Amino acid sequence: PGFFLMGLGLAGLIVGTVDYYLPITVAYQVALFAVLSVLTVFAGKKFLQQNPIETDDPKLNDRGARLTGEVVTVVEAISNGHGRVKVGDTEWSARGADASVGTRVRVVGADGAVLMVEGVV
């Protein structure tokens, strides 16, 4: 989002500079801004495709993946493969082998907002 807004800001800066030195009508300012906005957005997209942003934490926004390996407590019995577990102060839907309330289970994966669990040995 920030990179996108930088392109629009650059387009506005260029239009302002042009208008300062060569006073133009509002219609031309809007047209120039529209053209420059499209050009800067496409240039920014091409730049980001060639220079992708690397992250130190690829699972930053994938809470389910971050929980893989954690041991959690069953708060709603897992029966017929479905139940709920407590993770910190939050409850998550869970799928796995049948387990009674209070049983400790390990998160082995996630399918969206549903944690896949297995019994702790």
Q: What is the pTM of this model?
A: 0.56
Q: Which domain holds residue 13?
A: 2-50
Specify whether the CB–CB gap between 103 and 79 falls below 8 A: no
In a domain, 97, yes or no: yes
In a domain, 69, yes or no: yes
Residue 48 has pLDDT above 90, yes or no: no
pLDDT at position 85: 97
pLDDT at position 62: 81
Per-residue pLDDT reduced to its tens digit, 1-45? 677 899 899 999 999 999 999 999 999 999 999 999 999 989 988
Cα dihedral 68/74/76/80 (nearest 10): 70
**Do residues 44 and 68 share a domain?**
no
**Do residues 39 and 82 share a domain?**
no
DSSP state of 23: -
**Do residues 69 and 113 share a domain?**
yes
Both tokens of 104, joined, read 């400790």
Instruction: Please report, for the domain that includes residue 103, its CATH number.
Output: 2.40.50.140
Per-residue pLDDT reduced to its tens digit, 79-117? 999 999 999 999 999 999 999 999 999 999 999 889 999
> Looking at the 3D structure of the chain, how many domains does it have?
2
pLDDT at position 90: 92
